């Protein structure tokens, strides 16, 4: 059965809705069906920053890039996203797409877990990336 995730911030499937002191943000959606599996998607933004952020490595407690092990790029809707498969924090065990736009870094990721394989997650991310639209801030 496909997941009913709808990406409505504050909706039934919102897992994390967080803004940090540095203005970076994470919105996370999760769906779980007992005996079937999970779908977990994260969207992040790093306003005014384009470099890969650093996170604590759980095994060594050292600061490491939050995402690494680049696996090429995807080009959709005018976005050229780098694909990463080794990620930290809330993006651990996820395939992550990262791209830069107007001086900021953005990411979208999905957890690789049954019922979804790596290939299926890449298909989902391609569909999500291809469906993104720019929302201009209110003035």
- 77 versus 84: the higher-pLDDT residue is 84
Q: Is pTM beyond 0.75 here?
A: yes
pLDDT at 1: 45
Mean pLDDT in residue range 2-8: 57
Q: Tell whether 139 is covered by a domain.
A: no
pLDDT digits (tens, 9 = 90+) for 14-47: 667 788 898 999 988 877 777 767 788 999 999 9
Domain residues for the domain of 33 are: 14-130
- Looking at the domain assignment, is residue 9 inside a domain? no
The answer to whether residue 40 is domain-embedded is yes
Average confidence (pLDDT) over 91-95: 94
* Structural domain includes residue 7: no
Residue 120 lies in a domain: yes
> Considering its fold, how many domains does the chain have in total?
1
Q: What is the CA radius of gyration of the chain?
A: 15
The set of residues, in sequence order, having a beta carbon less than 8 Å from that of 87 and lying 6+ positions away, is 66, 67, 68, 93, 94, 96, 109
Q: Residue 136 falls within a domain, yes or no?
A: no
How much is the mean pLDDT over the chain?
A: 87
* Structure confidence at residue 7 (pLDDT): 62
Residue 4 domain flag: no
Determine, yes or no, domain membership for 102: yes
- Cα torsion for 61, 85, 71, 99, to the nearest 10°? -80
Of 116, 121, 120, nearest to 108 by C-alpha is: 121
CA 128/CA 120 separation, integer angstroms: 12
Give me the mean pLDDT over the 83-90 stretch: 93
Q: Say how far residue 117 (Cα) sits from the centre of its chain.
A: 16
């Amino acid at each position: 059965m496909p997941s009913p995730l709808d990406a409505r911030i504050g909706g039934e499937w919102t897992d994390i809705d967080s803004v940090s002191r540095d203005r970076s943000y994470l919105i996370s959606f999760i769906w779980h069906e007992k005996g079937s599996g999970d779908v977990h998607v994260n969207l992040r933004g790093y306003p005014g920053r384009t470099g890969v952020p650093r996170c604590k490595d759980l095994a060594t407690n050292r600061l490491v890039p939050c995402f690494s092990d680049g696996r090429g790029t995807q080009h959709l809707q005018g976005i050229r996203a780098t694909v990463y498969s080794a990620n930290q924090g809330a993006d651990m065990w996820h395939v992550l797409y990262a791209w830069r736009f107007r001086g900021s870094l953005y990411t979208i990721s999905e957890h690789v877990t049954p019922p979804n394989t790596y290939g299926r997650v890449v298909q989902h991310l391609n569909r999500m990336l291809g469906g993104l639209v720019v929302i201009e801030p209110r003035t």
